[in-house]
Amino acid sequence: MKKKGFTTVEILIASTIMCFVLFLGVTVMSFMSKTLYNGQTERSNRSRLTDNIYYITREIQSAEGIKISADKKTLYIKQRGSSDYSLVYSLSDGTPTGALYFKSKKMLDADFTQSKFEFSGKSVKITLAVYKNASEYGQIPKVIELCITPRSESVYTEVLTP
């Protein structure tokens, strides 16, 4: 009488092959997931960079007063008709990247040491060293410089002393 079934060795070999195939599948899915996540993060950061440049430009152009901290890491903007400097952009150091904040809300990933706010004549010069995302170490930031001039000649400007 002949038995129909698999031997223990055949079952072990089949399960080893199945585990290897499953491991390869999980590895490929993990790699694809990370690649898609990084791509979405980069796209989101590019969009946020464009939005932030637009808003900073609009706010500086219509400002009544502009102050910059002595360390060149904080920008204070006073809107027309306002009694205080309610718009605050600041650069903060962090891990793995620093960031640009607006009123304590993180807006985008930027290198703290290379980014700064300063006056250049009647204009505000903004240097942002932007990272593509905050999840990777060892990135080289892309440096973007903006020179924005307020529309009004009577804008009060000041560099704060420490």
pLDDT on residue 1? 58
Distances (CA, A) of 112 to 19, 31, 38, 78, 155: 46, 30, 21, 24, 28
For 107, other C-beta atoms within 10 Å of its C-beta total 19
Check if the beta carbon of residue 107 is closer than 8 Å to that of residue 113.
no
* Residue 121 reports pLDDT greater than 80: yes
Joined together, the tokens standing for residue 154 give 């009577």
Residue of higher predicted confidence among 132 and 116: 116
* Residue 157 reports pLDDT greater than 70: yes
Residue 97, classed as helix, strand or coil, is: coil
Condensed to tens digits (0 to 9), the pLDDT of residues 39-88 reads: 887 888 888 899 999 999 999 999 999 999 999 999 999 998 888 999 99
For 12, other C-beta atoms within 10 Å of its C-beta total 11
Residue entry with tokens 């790699």 = 31
